[in-house]
């Protein structure tokens, strides 16, 4: 039998999980958006996706530099930070777009909000990348690679953007892994992989080493990360000063820094959407999809201890019109209550004459004050005994899934989902 307990650090968010008295291996993701600025532009101008295109400073005057180029432009040798006139020599037919930082920040917020559904511990490193502490999430999202695939697919399907994911035991290795395969790459870089995957790389590719430091390293005979890792530690620190120790530790795959969320309440909502394999007009089929979504949302909410008061549904029709509706209920994270609220909204807004191609469901309102709580139909219908029973059922299912995986047990209605 496995015994789980928790050792709390300075913040409850940064708990370390133990099994059988031994620390569980940390699982850290670095999600890096691919060609982010120009990818944002392609979400609102699909014609840019099939031709060489780039976001650049002052395209009308043909001055400035390339801020982001799509992969069609990169195939011609165009690179980020390249002087614009040089880029146009390499790819004269490239379409140039003026930067819109307000739009890119909005898309970045959408990415970070989506990532917060997978972990309450998200540290945004820049406008287009973030670390996630995914330790202990296997019961929710499967293996690290399976979880990364979920994230990649959801970012692509919901936001129209591409990303790469690095998976490792610490932030440095996750960052290095995220750069190893682009676009749409998932790379694992565990400590056992370091001699094979990390050490052969040129030292100039190492995260945290700039051009000047790389030149200095090469002058003393260090050309690869492996050569740096095996250099005399004390001599290296004396040569490179206070940053030398961190550089040396990183080369050996050592990074003790934690993932620190930048926002006080980083998880604003928990949501899932499903694009249907075919458009549907039958509300009973829609309800089966809703159960699937509620099941996943409830399990995620319970895993993070988040009870929400607002349930929202999203319906996208075959003509791409989108309708959202929401309701308020007593704070909950039980699957049945989330489903009931969503189902009521679905029944109130279903139109059999308009086929639906996507259904979404979300739970939010985690930080609202008790004084603002509104009674709803569900408060009057359900009694405390039933609510306790629902929670016990959910907790029993969560426990089984945590040990054996998410597919081992499911709600009876979901057995019919293949009919949709």
Q: Which residues are catalytic?
A: 129
d(C-alpha 393, C-alpha 299), whole Å: 11
Pairing of strands 22-23, 66-69: unpaired
Q: How many C-beta atoms lie closer than 10 Å to residue 242's C-beta? A: 7
Is residue 306 within 8 Å of residue 270, measured between CB atoms?
yes
Residues 6+ apart with CB under 8 A from 345: 311, 312, 313, 325, 326, 327
Q: Determine the 3-state secondary structure of 255 from DSSP.
A: coil
Residues 6+ apart with CB under 8 A from 143: none
Among the residues of 59-137, which ranges form H helices? 71-74, 84-90, 101-115
Q: How far is CA 260 from CA 14, 80, 124, 264, in A?
A: 8, 28, 9, 10
Q: Which of 250, 413, 225 is nearest to 336 (CA)?
A: 413
Distance in angstroms between the alpha carbons of the first and the last residue of the chain? 40
State the DSSP H helix or E strand holding residue 149, giving kind and residue range, or none if neither. Answer: helix 144-159
What is the residue whose two structure tokens read 């050592």?
254
- Burial code (b: 16+ CB inside 10 Å, e: under 16) for 403-419 equals eeebeeeebeeeeeeee
Pairing of strands 269-280, 16-19: unpaired
d(C-alpha 150, C-alpha 125), whole Å: 21
Beta sheet of 53-56, edge-to-edge order: 66-69, 53-56, 95-97
d(C-alpha 41, C-alpha 47), whole Å: 10
Q: How many C-beta atoms lie closer than 10 Å to residue 40's C-beta? A: 28
Q: How far is CA 41 from CA 46, 65, 88, 394, in A?
A: 8, 17, 19, 42
Both tokens of 51, joined, read 């031709």
């Amino acid at each position: 039998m496995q015994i789980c307990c928790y050792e709390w650090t300075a913040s409850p968010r940064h708990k370390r999980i133990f099994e059988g008295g031994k620390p569980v291996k940390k699982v850290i993701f670095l999600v890096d958006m691919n060609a982010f600025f120009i990818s944002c532009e392609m979400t609102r101008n699909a014609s840019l996706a099939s031709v060489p295109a780039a976001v650049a400073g002052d395209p009308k005057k043909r001055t400035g530099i390339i801020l982001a180029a799509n992969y069609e432009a990169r195939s011609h040798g165009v690179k980020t930070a390249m002087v614009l006139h040089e880029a146009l020599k390499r790819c004269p037919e490239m379409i140039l777009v003026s930067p819109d930082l307000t739009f890119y920040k909005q898309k970045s917020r959408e990415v970070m909000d989506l990532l917060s559904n997978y972990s309450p511990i998200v540290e945004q490193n820049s406008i287009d990348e973030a670390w996630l502490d995914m330790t202990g999430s296997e019961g929710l999202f499967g293996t690290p690679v399976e979880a990364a695939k979920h994230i990649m697919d959801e970012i692509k399907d919901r936001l129209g953007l591409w990303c790469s994911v690095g998976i490792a035991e610490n932030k440095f290795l996750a960052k290095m892994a995220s750069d190893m395969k682009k676009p749409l790459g998932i790379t694992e870089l565990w400590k056992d992989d370091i001699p094979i995957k990390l050490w052969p790389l040129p030292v100039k590719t190492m995260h945290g080493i700039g051009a000047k430091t790389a030149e200095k390293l090469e002058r003393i005979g260090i050309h690869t990360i492996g050569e740096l890792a095996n250099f005399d530690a004390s001599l290296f620190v004396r040569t490179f000063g206070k940053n030398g120790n961190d550089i040396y530790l990183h080369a050996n795959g050592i990074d003790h820094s934690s993932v620190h969320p930048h926002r006080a309440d980083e998880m604003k909502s928990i949501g899932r959407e499903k694009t249907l394999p075919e458009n549907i007009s039958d509300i009973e089929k829609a309800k089966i999809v809703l159960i699937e979504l509620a099941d996943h949302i409830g399990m995620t909410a319970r895993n993070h201890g988040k009870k929400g008061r607002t349930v929202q549904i999203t319906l996208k029709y075959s003509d791409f019109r989108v309708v959202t509706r929401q309701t308020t209920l007593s704070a909950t994270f039980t699957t049945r209550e989330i489903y009931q609220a969503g189902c009521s909204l679905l029944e109130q807004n279903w139109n059999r004459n308009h086929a639906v191609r996507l259904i979404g469901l979300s739970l939010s309102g985690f930080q609202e004050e008790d004084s603002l709580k509104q009674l709803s139909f569900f408060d009057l219908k359900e009694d405390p005994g039933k609510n306790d029973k629902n929670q016990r059922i959910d907790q029993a299912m969560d426990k089984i899934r945590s040990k054996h995986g998410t597919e081992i047990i499911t709600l009876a209605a979901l057995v019919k989902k293949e009919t949709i």
